[in-house]
């Protein structure tokens, strides 16, 4: 089982005819994801990898019962596309788009909250539920394997690295989710931890965080009450304050969001924090045995 | 993007927020003239870093001569690594109370937030938590006057000042949204002759929204090297070490720096080559890094969309095109799509290629002659974990 | 019993120290309304007719458990005052203010809908539940009497006229409510008709409409399914098209909102439409006997 | 307040909506000059009423001479009761499609609404319901591009035009909100050379919001008498009868007109004296009405806050101050607070006073010598239903 995305998930891809959208639409199909439609205004009637393209999300939902969307449009257009998905009644919207303006991200989240929509991202790689053959987003297909580990992360390639190391160690995943690297994100650590805690198939949770913000500190509070073990890894130990390390959110500002603060909060919360990336898989293995 | 104080004040004035009279000056003579017009002035260094007051970047001058002298001292001065290019001469204020007011965003609540304190004038981090009022602002409705009025009363302002505070805060909020700001901070919001005005101002605009603000003046905090690499569209931060680093993805790049530092290496930079499949900008960035003559270079690529053979070819080309690059030790960690082909290409060009991040990090530190693990890792050369 | 406002209603008056606010605060107290607080920013510590004045609605709610508000501030400031009441959790807000800008009225209503607040007005005389001695608004105290007639109206003085004629005829009221004369109003005819239909003490409903808009036509649809008799009176039979007859909403525009359209809709809906004001009381009497 | 077409077009242009080139002209010579600059033009009467095309208020001119002649014809022309004071000379367009687009509000849904149709060019009331698309707009979020795009596709626009339509509609929406508009209508939104532009424009601003739009140009549809009475802050509409009417409250005033008309009387005006307690403006308004020499005057006051004795005193004073008023029959219906005192004051001054609206209406119609009930009602004189 998975906690987000399953066999019944029918995905519509917005920005489907773009370079990124069309490539990943194909990759998702290859993984087994039920991609039912693409959307690019003005391209109705075309196909991408055999999937029909429509002008509006509304039409894609009407014709194909899409119940998840993945957004590939450029950052400044993402707000419109995401709001269109929400308004069309799509309950899960994964926003791959990078450089979504901060105020747009706030509007997206407020509109989603009003309508009860789950937003993943922006600036995320998406999510993958290996046992359901449901990948919504851009991670490489090869790294996943079905198993008992739930993974939630802020960073993309670091997730690939660590999920790859889990898979290499024979540790498959229930669901892997990227929250995205932006400062204002939809689904957060706590939302996912709650889902993993409830999910009967998830036995251990891997939390991949980084410097900046207080999401990890807030997660630590929740972890205190969890019955399942949490293994954490945090990037940015060597980052100087005041510098934005690639991700909009990865910046130590005004003394908040430091590596030390996060490690001590997570440790206090009962999570085991790996010092180096390759320590994660052994810690997970240990937790599974316990 | 941060705006200079004088730019931020311009935005405030346009938005209807009262500001003291002032003028931007680029020479001591202009400062003297400003003082003749404005009377006694504060001569304030225009820089994008905080704490300029303590660092001697603000001087009060009562006469044109004094203003000229102050400007002469401040202009060209080095403030936390930035050279002062202009001063803002602003009428000297007789301040009876200093209030703190800012608008920013709350990542947890995913909405804007008003922060206020009666303890203005000092950095907000130094104000005790209980003297600070934070008020979340509903995205859909924005900051309404009554919300700001409530906050004003809670920080202890009297009825008249509270009304002025409310008016200023709501105007500021409109500017905050209109300009896609991350932060608008007025500290102090000064009480002068029983009325409130903005005695200082910071305004940071969201970089991701700059496309819709073509009319805003541009400022840049980047070093020349940062400017050069960022022009390629890549995230780049200059650090103070000597091993150049490139990886794809912000998280993995940070982790790469961490791991390298763990083994005693000193990273020269943060460079996120991005997760895309295009190798053009990446190769250019690598070439720029190499041209700065680091002690060594570490490239760490997890190939998803990025194909390892493309990356390998780009690296080989950089080395061939740059005579200088030949002398700089280059360590590459490459896994993922078309990994075997990538390793073969690199080995063909005599470049170290690893599958293990650990080994690659140890090796680059050793090649740079740094770290405790140096001697040991150097031997890793022969047992290089080649792709299978 | 009453359908809006009762013995437990504790009223806060905003704009309490103004000319209108202070006068009507006193009139409400005289009627028997439980006015617990006034609000005027900057006037905390004062009293109006013995009722304490505060700076914010929040404080009035905290200190006195106010659960209804009546807003007397000038039109352009009404949005802020109403939103303050809504945000403070007041479930019923009566907006007396005239000349509230149209877009402000839309914002007020949308915010109220989000929070589940009932808005009466703007540009209304308010409401009165005679048996509960609860008057929230500005109608003269003398015209009301407790009894079985529910009254809902757009116009104020026309309500006084007709309620006065009911009282003179011995026909008391359960609740009398003014929707207000503006184009965008909170509570509408249908909302009130539903409440009257459910209310065991209301036996007949009087609907007082006027030209402009389509509120009466919409009400007529609902009346079709009502079990209780509805007597209607409509003002504006002699009004020419295109002229705004005092109320912002009282204008026949683009062929819509005519007197004839409303009469025929209401008649088709099963309401009895009085041709002249003094025919209302006899028709109510007849309906009560039937 | 309605804006003239040229003003509305100015607002559109500021908001980024494409409009044809054009110029406001107040003389035939200016029209000729405009045509020399713009080429062939449409010379359009600037009036605040619709249907000017059919009424001869728009003429096409291909030469400066023709434009001059057209302007000469149109300027000063009477269009539905309004004199044309200026023409807007606008470049002649070669239109391939006419679209209808407006933004207004939906009183039932309590939110703004976008209305569009592919059948532009005609009045929207004449377009069949099924050719019109209406789209409610959430107040909190405003009109988003995707919403307008969906509408554009539903009215059958192709992809490129739909994108332009969406862009124009969202810009228009921002202007709609910013200006507190009740209505923004572009009809036709014209397709010219494959692109969309606003060939006509109406923009009505909410009167209740005028205080926040001091920078907008002012227009006025009022007759001189309307302007005079409205300046007192009262709602007043001039009608075409001969009995002056004043009542307090819009609803009761309408009902008073209805009742009077029921008895055969012809109301000269709608005057809502308001529900307040001040009698000053009311008395002034009454004096103005009387000065226009109506056949009779009916005053209908339901005293709530308004006290009947105050009203009675004001009426008596008007009659005393105005010699002309002596000859105008005055009928007063007065009930409510201090009713008895009011009736006593009126009777003391020899003015008819009633408690019954019915009798007052019948009486005033009879005094004006109108209506079927005239002869009968005149007899009501002696049995005047005096206050108890």
Judge whether D376 and D366 are in contact, CB under 8 Å.
yes
Q: How does pLDDT run across C122-156, given as a tens digit for each residue?
A: 999 999 999 999 999 999 999 999 999 999 999 88
Instruction: Using the 3D structure, point to which of C105, C120, C135 is the last residue of a domain.
Output: C120
Q: Which residue has the higher pLDDT, D323 or B216?
A: B216
The partner residue sitting opposite C246, judged by closest CB among D253, D262, D336, is: D253
Catalytically active residues of A are 247
Q: Tell me how far apart the alpha carbons of residues A156 and B248 are, in angstroms, rounded to a whole number.
A: 9
Strands B181-192 and B111-117, bridge-based pairing: unpaired
Report the range of poorest mean pLDDT among A139-153, A250-264, B242-256, D238-252.
A250-264
Residues 6+ apart with CB under 8 A from C14: C21, C38, C39, C40, C57, C69, C70, C71, C72, C73, C81, C84, C85
Q: Tell me how far apart the alpha carbons of residues C118 and C191 are, in angstroms, rounded to a whole number.
A: 10
Q: Tell me how far apart the alpha carbons of residues C9 and C31 are, in angstroms, rounded to a whole number.
A: 14
**ipTM value for the complex:** 0.92
Percentage, residues of chain C above pLDDT 90: 88
Residues of A in contact with B233 (CB under 8 A): none
Closest residue in C to D334 (Cα) is C161
Q: Contact C87/B153, CB-based, under 8 Å?
A: no
Question: If you ran DSSP here, which 8-state letter would residue A85 be given?
Answer: H
Using 50, 70 and 90 to split pLDDT, how confident is the model at A257? confident
Q: Please check whether residue D141 touches B, CB under 8 A.
A: yes
Residues of B in contact with A128 (CB under 8 A): none
Query: Nearest C-alpha of chain D: how many angstroms from B1?
Result: 26
pLDDT for res D354: 95
User: Is residue A4, in this structure, part of any structural domain at all?
Assistant: no
Q: A101 and A134 share a domain?
A: no
pLDDT for res B161: 97
For residue A261, what is the domain's CATH number?
3.40.50.261
Interval B297-318 mean pLDDT = 86
Q: C205 and C254 share a domain?
A: yes
Q: Contact B141/D140, CB-based, under 8 Å?
A: yes
Q: How does pLDDT run across A102-160, given as a tens digit for each residue?
A: 999 999 999 999 999 999 999 999 999 999 999 999 999 999 999 999 999 998 889 99
pLDDT for res B226: 86
Chains touching D by CB (3 or more pairs below 8 Å):
A, B, C
Into how many domains does chain A fold?
A: 2
Using 50, 70 and 90 to split pLDDT, how confident is the model at B290? confident
Judge whether B89 and B70 are in contact, CB under 8 Å.
no
pLDDT for res A283: 98
Q: C94 and C109 share a domain?
A: yes
pLDDT for res B275: 61
Chains touching C by CB (3 or more pairs below 8 Å):
B, D
pTM of the model: 0.92
For residue B177 the two structure tokens come to 């949204």
Interval C111-123 mean pLDDT = 97
Q: Tell me how far apart the alpha carbons of residues B267 and B298 are, in angstroms, rounded to a whole number.
A: 9
Report the range of poorest mean pLDDT among A196-210, A217-231, C37-51, D274-288.
D274-288
Write down the mean pLDDT value for chain A: 94
pLDDT for res A247: 79
Q: A265 and A178 share a domain?
A: yes
Q: Tell me how far apart the alpha carbons of residues A61 and A144 are, in angstroms, rounded to a whole number.
A: 29
pLDDT for res D280: 79
Catalytically active residues of D are 100, 185
Instruction: Give the rounded distance of the alpha carbon of D290 from its chain centre.
Output: 24
Judge whether A120 and A187 are in contact, CB under 8 Å.
yes
Q: A59 and A178 share a domain?
A: no
The partner residue sitting opposite B146, judged by closest CB among C42, C44, C80, is: C80
Give the torsion sign (CA, B67, B72, B73, B75).
Answer: positive
Q: Tell me how far apart the alpha carbons of residues B104 and B198 are, in angstroms, rounded to a whole number.
A: 17
Residues of B in contact with A190 (CB under 8 A): none
Q: A114 and A176 share a domain?
A: no
Chains touching B by CB (3 or more pairs below 8 Å):
A, C, D
Q: Establish whether domains B21-91 and B224-386 are of one fold.
A: no
Which parts of chain D sit beneath pLDDT 50?
A: 372-388
Closest residue in B to D141 (Cα) is B140
Q: Which residue has the higher pLDDT, C20 or C148?
A: C148
The phi and psi torsions of A198 (rounded to 5 degrees) equal -80, -25
Residues of B in contact with C107 (CB under 8 A): 141
CATH number for region D224-386: 3.40.50.261
Q: Contact B251/A155, CB-based, under 8 Å?
A: yes
Interval A50-67 mean pLDDT = 97
Judge whether C262 and C239 are in contact, CB under 8 Å.
no
Q: Tell me how far apart the alpha carbons of residues B383 and B361 are, in angstroms, rounded to a whole number.
A: 14
Query: Nearest C-alpha of chain A: how many angstroms from D146?
Result: 6
Q: What is the helix (H) or strand (E) element at residue D198, kind and residue range?
A: strand D195-198
Q: C200 and C240 share a domain?
A: yes
Q: C138 and C271 share a domain?
A: yes
Q: How does pLDDT run across B357-372, given as a tens digit for each residue?
A: 999 999 999 999 865 4
Q: A247 and A191 share a domain?
A: yes
For residue D369 the two structure tokens come to 């010598």
Q: Tell me how far apart the alpha carbons of residues D246 and D364 are, in angstroms, rounded to a whole number.
A: 12
Q: How does pLDDT run across A148-160, given as a tens digit for each residue?
A: 999 999 988 899 9
Q: Contact C210/D259, CB-based, under 8 Å?
A: no
N- to C-terminal Cα separation, chain A: 22
Interval C202-222 mean pLDDT = 95
pLDDT for res B320: 86
Packing angle of the helix pair C157-168, D250-262 (nearest 10 deg): 70
pLDDT of residue B386 exceeding 60, the answer is no
pLDDT of residue A248 exceeding 50, the answer is yes
Query: Nearest C-alpha of chain B: how many angstroms from A63?
Result: 31
Q: Which residue has the higher pLDDT, D277 or C285?
A: C285
Q: Please check whether residue B344 touches A, CB under 8 A.
A: no
Q: Please check whether residue B211 touches D, CB under 8 A.
A: no
Q: How does pLDDT run across B111-168, given as a tens digit for each residue?
A: 999 999 999 987 887 888 899 999 999 999 999 999 999 999 999 999 999 999 999 9
User: Is residue A1, in this structure, part of any structural domain at all?
Assistant: no
Q: C196 and C57 share a domain?
A: no
pLDDT for res D276: 60
Judge whether B328 and B293 are in contact, CB under 8 Å.
yes
Q: Is the peptide bond before B188 cis (omega within 30 degrees of 0)?
A: yes
User: Is residue C261, in this structure, part of any structural domain at all?
Assistant: yes
Domain boundaries, chain B: 21-91, 97-212, 224-386
Query: Nearest C-alpha of chain D: how many angstroms from A21?
Result: 19
Q: A157 and A31 share a domain?
A: no
Instruction: Using the 3D structure, point to which of C120, C141, C157 is the last residue of a domain.
Output: C120
Environment class of residue C185 by beta-carbon count within 10 Å: exposed (0-12), middle (13-18) or buried (19+)? buried
Q: Please check whether residue D140 touches B, CB under 8 A.
A: yes
Could you tell me which CATH class the domain D97-212 is placed in? alpha beta
Interval B104-114 mean pLDDT = 95
Q: Contact D162/A87, CB-based, under 8 Å?
A: no
Q: Tell me how far apart the alpha carbons of residues B24 and B33 are, in angstroms, rounded to a whole number.
A: 11
Interval B254-275 mean pLDDT = 91
pLDDT for res C69: 98
Q: How does pLDDT run across D116-126, given as a tens digit for each residue?
A: 999 998 788 78
Q: Contact A42/D162, CB-based, under 8 Å?
A: yes
Q: Would you list the DSSP string of B299-360? A: EEEEESSS-HHHHHHHHHHHHHH-GGGGGS-EEEEEEETTHHHHHHHHHHTT-EEES-HHHH
The partner residue sitting opposite C111, judged by closest CB among B141, B145, B147, is: B141
Q: Contact D141/B140, CB-based, under 8 Å?
A: yes
Q: How does pLDDT run across C73-92, given as a tens digit for each residue?
A: 999 999 999 999 999 999 99
Percentage, residues of chain B above pLDDT 70: 93
For residue C39, what is the domain's CATH number?
3.40.50.720
Q: A109 and A141 share a domain?
A: no
Interval A47-54 mean pLDDT = 97
pLDDT for res B352: 84
CATH fold of the domain at D21-91: Dna Ligase; domain 1 (3.30.1490)
Contact map slice: B 150-179 vs C, CB within 8 A = 150, 153, 159-160, 162-163
pLDDT for res D338: 86
**Boundaries of domain holding A266:** 126-289
Interval B206-233 mean pLDDT = 87
Environment class of residue A6 by beta-carbon count within 10 Å: exposed (0-12), middle (13-18) or buried (19+)? middle
Q: Please check whether residue D64 touches C, CB under 8 A.
A: no
The partner residue sitting opposite A102, judged by closest CB among B140, B208, B260, is: B208
Interval B267-278 mean pLDDT = 79
Write down the mean pLDDT value for chain B: 89
Q: Which residue has the tokens 């001119």?
A: D61
For residue C132 the two structure tokens come to 């509960």
Judge whether D248 and C222 are in contact, CB under 8 Å.
no
């Amino acid at each position: 089982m998975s906690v987000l995305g399953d066999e019944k998930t029918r995905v519509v891809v917005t920005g489907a005819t773009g370079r990124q959208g069309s490539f990943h639409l194909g990759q998702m199909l290859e993984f087994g994801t039920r991609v039912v439609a693409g959307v690019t205004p003005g391209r109705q009637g075309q196909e991408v990898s055999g999937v029909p393209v429509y002008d509006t999300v509304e039409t894609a939902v009407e014709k194909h019962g899409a119940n998840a969307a993945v957004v590939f449009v450029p950052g400044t257009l993402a707000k419109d596309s995401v709001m269109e998905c929400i308004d069309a009644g799509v309950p899960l919207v994964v926003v791959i788009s990078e450089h979504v303006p901060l105020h747009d991200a706030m509007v997206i989240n407020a509109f989603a909250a009003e309508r009860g929509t789950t937003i993943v991202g922006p600036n995320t790689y998406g999510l993958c539920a290996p046992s359901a053959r449901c990948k919504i987003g851009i991670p490489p297909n090869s790294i996943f394997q079905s198993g008992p580990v739930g993974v939630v992360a802020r960073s993309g390639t670091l997730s690939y690295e660590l999920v790859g190391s889990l898979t290499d160690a024979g540790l498959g995943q229930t669901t892997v989710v990227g929250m995205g690297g932006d400062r204002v994100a939809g689904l957060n650590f706590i939302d996912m931890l709650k889902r993993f805690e409830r999910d009967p198939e998830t036995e251990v949770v891997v939390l991949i965080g980084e410097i900046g913000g207080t999401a990890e500190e807030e997660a630590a509070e929740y972890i205190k009450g969890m019955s399942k073990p949490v293994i954490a890894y945090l990037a940015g130990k060597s980052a100087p304050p005041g510098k934005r390390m690639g991700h909009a959110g990865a910046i130590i500002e005004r003394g908040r969001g430091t590596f030390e603060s996060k490690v001590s909060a997570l440790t206090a919360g009962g999570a085991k924090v790996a010092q180096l990336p390759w320590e994660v898989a052994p810690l997970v293995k240990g937790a599974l045995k316990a | 993007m941060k705006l200079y104080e004088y730019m931020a004040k311009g935005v405030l004035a346009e938005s209807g927020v009262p500001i003291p009279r002032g003028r931007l000056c680029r020479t001591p003579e202009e400062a003297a003239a400003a003082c003749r017009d404005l009377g006694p002035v504060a001569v304030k260094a225009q820089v994008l870093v905080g704490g300029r007051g303590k660092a001697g970047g603000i001087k009060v001058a009562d006469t044109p001569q004094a203003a000229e002298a102050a400007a002469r001292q401040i202009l060209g001065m080095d403030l936390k690594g930035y050279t002062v290019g202009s001063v803002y001469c602003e009428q000297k204020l007789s301040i009876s109370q200093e209030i703190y007011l800012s608008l920013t965003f709350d990542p947890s609540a995913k909405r804007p937030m008003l922060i206020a304190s009666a303890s203005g004038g000092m950095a907000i981090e130094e104000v005790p938590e209980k003297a600070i009022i934070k008020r979340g602002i509903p995205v859909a409705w924005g900051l309404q006057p009554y919300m700001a009025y409530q906050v004003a009363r809670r920080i202890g302002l009297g009825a008249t000042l509270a009304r002025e505070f409310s008016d200023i805060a709501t105007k500021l909020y409109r500017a905050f949204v209109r300009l896609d700001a991350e932060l608008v901070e007025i500290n102090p919001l000064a009480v002068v002759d029983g009325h409130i005005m903005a005695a200082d101002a910071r305004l940071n605009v969201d970089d991701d929204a700059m496309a819709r603000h073509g009319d805003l003046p541009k400022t840049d905090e980047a070093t020349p090297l940062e400017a050069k690499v960022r022009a390629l569209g890549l995230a780049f931060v200059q650090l103070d070490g000597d091993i150049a680093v490139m990886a794809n993805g912000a998280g993995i790049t940070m982790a790469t720096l961490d791991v390298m530092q763990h083994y005693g290496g000193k990273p020269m930079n943060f460079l996120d080559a991005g997760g895309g499949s295009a190798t053009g900008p990446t190769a250019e960035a690598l070439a720029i890094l190499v041209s700065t003559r680091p002690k060594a270079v570490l490239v760490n690529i997890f190939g998803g969309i990025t194909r390892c053979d493309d990356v390998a070819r780009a690296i080989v080309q950089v080395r061939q095109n740059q005579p200088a690059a030949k002398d700089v030790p280059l360590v590459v960690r490459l896994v993922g799509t078309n990994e075997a082909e990538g390793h073969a290409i690199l080995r063909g060009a005599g470049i170290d290629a690893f599958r293990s991040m650990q080994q690659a990090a140890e090796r680059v530190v050793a090649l740079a002659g740094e770290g405790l693990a140096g001697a040991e890792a150097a031997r890793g050369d022969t047992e290089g974990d080649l792709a299978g």
